[in-house]
Structure 1
Amino acid sequence: MITLYVAMIGLSIFSLIQASIGAVFYNINIILANLCIQVGVTAIYSILVAHRLLAMRRQMKQVMAQYDSSTYATVVLMVVESDGLYSVFAIILIVAFALHLNSVSTLCFLSIGSVQGIAQLFIILRVARGRGSSGYTRMVKLSCRSTHDHSILKVGIGHNRKIKRGTDS
C-alpha cells in the first residue's frame, strides 16, 4: 500500500509540473494513470477492511457459539455501499478521461467531492435510521422527554437509566 501511495504522490507531482509548463490538462496522460491508481487503492483498501471484519466475525463465532455476528455483516455492507458509489463514479471519470470526452470529464471532476460526501452520508443515514447495527448492540440512544417537574434523560445500551437533576436513581 505504501508503494501505491508513493506512486500517487509522484504522479501527482509530475502532473503538476507538466501543467505548470503549459500542457493542456486533458492531454496529460499521467493523470489517467494517477486516477487508475487512486481507484485501485480505494478498492484495495475497502477489500482489506471487509476481509479483516469478516475474519474477526469468524473468530468471534468460533470463540462464542451464540455470538450474534450481524454487526460485522452490517459494517461490511456499509463499507461496500460507500465504496461502490465512489468507485463507479470514478470509473466513469477514467473512461471519459481516456476517451477525451472533456465535458463529461469536467463534470465528473467538479462533482467527485460531492460523491465522496454522499458515500459518507450513506453510512450516517444507515446508523441514524437504526439499521447500522443489530437490536441490542445499538449505539448510545438518547431521547429526552419532559415531565411536570423533572427533565429525564434516558441513555440506553441494553437498559435505561434515569438521571434526575443532580441525583442518580
Structure 2
Amino acid sequence: MIKIDVTYDIIIRVTDVKKMQGCMSGVYVFLSNDNRPLYVGIATNLKLRLVQHLRKETNTKRFVHLFEKVALIHEEDPLLRRMAEIYLINTLNTPVNKNGVHPEGLQARSVSALDIKQKFGRCNGLTNDRKQCRRTAHTNGYCYLHGGNGESLTKLRQDALLEIDKDLIS
C-alpha cells in the first residue's frame, strides 16, 4: 500500500467550530478527548458541515458526545480531498467510518433494533455470495454497508484505493 504524508493544518476544539472564518474546503477528522481519531469526512464548506455534525443533523448524531476536537486539512481539489479521506479512513481505522454508525467499543445511545427493523425492514443489498443482506435497511432501502448499487463500502474503498494506486504507478 502507498504511504501518503497527511498533516493536519489545524486542530480545534469542537466548541470553537462556530468561530471559524471563511468558506474553506477540505478534510476533517473528529477526535476524542484522548486524540483518538473517530470519524473522517470531507466538505466543500468545512464550517457548515462541522456545524451540521454538531447539531446532530448527520448519520454521526449518536456519537457527537464523543467528539472533543476536530483536525482540519485545507484542500480545494475535490479529487485530492476524496483521496485523503479514503486514505485516512483506512489508515486511522476510524471506528465510526469503518462500521457505519455501529462502531465496536464505543457506547452510543440507540433505538432498539426491533423498532428499526419494524420501521425499515431488510436491506435490499446482496452479500458476496449473492444472498439477500440480513441487516436492517435505512430509509433508502439499504443497510449501512450497502450503497445504492448494492456494493459494500469496504469494497468501494478498496476499489478506490486500487484506482489511486493505478494512477500513481502510471
TM over 0.5: same fold? no
TM-score with structure 2 length normalisation?
0.28
Higher relative contact order (CA 8 A, sep 6+): 2
**Which protein is richer in helix relative to its size?**
1
TM-score with structure 1 length normalisation?
0.28
